[in-house]
Each structure stands twice: as structure tokens, then as C-alpha cells.
């Protein structure tokens, strides 16, 4: 979903805030999760998404990141949760959007090593990255209203 780089981290003082977006893609009663490839958080599970670039809206970033990571389009994105999580060297600020999948699209793992479609009962099975766990709890509680 994101990979901190020198441009995102502070030169001094407190930790830099990194703004990313995440897509909770619902399809046939399940949500999509991806296992991170390389980098320091490799192997952890996350929702697809990524960095918001300078001058880019959250929704534009969401659509771009999903095209780049999954080669598909999302439909009807709506804000459902905001994660703020402190990693040791940066603070993550992550607006999360529930959305559908464009008709005929099938996500492909272009960045992730694996993809999983999870039912509500399977939400806690993957080893989620720490920042995603609050969103998982929110999904579990509000599943029916979010999957519409």
C-alpha cells in the first residue's frame, strides 16, 4: 500500500505524517486483501491503496492506486473509516473507502504477492499489518451497512 521514502520522512523533529488511501473492495459478499511484496512490511496483509500524491484528491489517488496495483476500476467509493497509526518513524493517516468492482473487472496482483477474498467470518485470518487492524474491527461491526 505504501513504502516510506526519503521525501516522506522528516529531516528533523517529530515523525512525518504520511497520507495514504485504502480501498475496501466488496464483491459477492467478500472484501479483497493483498499480501505485501518487498519492503520492510513484506508479508503483511493490507487493503489495496497507496500514497496520495501532491495536488491529488483522495478519490483520485484511490482510483489511480487501484489501477496500478490491481489493473481494475472501483465503483461508488464512499468514505467509511480513517486510520491514524504511529509507526516508529512516521505517522500514517489513511482515509478508507468502501467500493465495488467495475463490471467485468478481475483484480490482478501486480504489486502484492497474493490476493484473498474474505468473508466477514474470515476477516481476522490473515496476518494484517498493524495499521489495518482498526479498520478490520470497524468492518466486522458495520459489515452489513458497508457492503451495500
Are the CB atoms for 57 and 134 separated by under 8 Å?
A: no
Within-domain flag for 50: yes
Tell me which residue has cell 468492482. 101
> Domain containing 96 — which CATH number?
3.90.79.10
**pLDDT (0 to 100) of residue 14:** 65
In the chain, the number of structural domains is: 1
**pLDDT (0 to 100) of residue 38:** 82
Within-domain flag for 41: yes
**H-type alpha helices, the chain:** 58-70, 133-146
- Count the neighbouring beta carbons within 10 Å of the beta carbon of residue 22: 25
Within-domain flag for 67: yes
Within-domain flag for 9: no
**pLDDT (0 to 100) of residue 77:** 98
The CA distance from 45 to 86, in Å, is: 17
Are the CB atoms for 113 and 36 separated by under 8 Å?
A: yes
**pLDDT (0 to 100) of residue 124:** 98
∠ CA 88-62-36, nearest 5°, is 50
Contacts of 41 (CB under 8 A, 6+ apart): 129
Question: Domain range for residue 52?
Answer: 16-146
Within-domain flag for 99: yes
Within-domain flag for 3: no
Q: Which positions of the chain have pLDDT values less than 70?
A: 1-14
- Count the neighbouring beta carbons within 10 Å of the beta carbon of residue 35: 18
Amino acid at each position: 500500500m505504501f513504502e516510506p521514502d526519503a521525501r516522506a520522512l522528516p529531516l528533523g523533529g517529530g515523525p512525518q505524517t504520511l497520507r495514504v488511501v485504502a480501498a475496501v473492495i466488496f464483491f459477492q459478499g467478500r472484501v479483497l486483501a493483498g499480501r505485501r511484496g518487498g519492503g520492510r512490511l513484506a508479508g503483511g496483509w493490507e487493503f489495496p491503496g497507496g500514497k496520495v500524491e501532491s495536488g491529488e484528491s483522495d478519490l483520485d489517488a484511490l482510483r489511480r492506486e487501484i489501477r496500478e496495483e490491481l489493473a481494475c476500476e472501483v465503483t461508488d467509493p464512499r468514505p467509511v473509516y480513517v486510520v491514524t497509526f504511529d509507526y516508529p518513524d512516521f505517522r500514517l493517516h489513511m482515509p478508507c473507502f468502501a467500493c465495488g468492482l467495475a463490471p467485468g473487472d478481475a483484480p490482478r496482483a501486480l504489486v502484492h504477492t497474493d490476493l484473498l477474498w474474505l468473508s466477514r467470518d474470515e476477516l481476522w485470518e490473515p496476518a494484517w499489518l498493524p495499521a489495518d487492524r482498526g479498520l478490520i474491527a470497524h468492518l466486522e461491526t458495520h459489515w452489513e451497512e458497508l457492503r451495500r
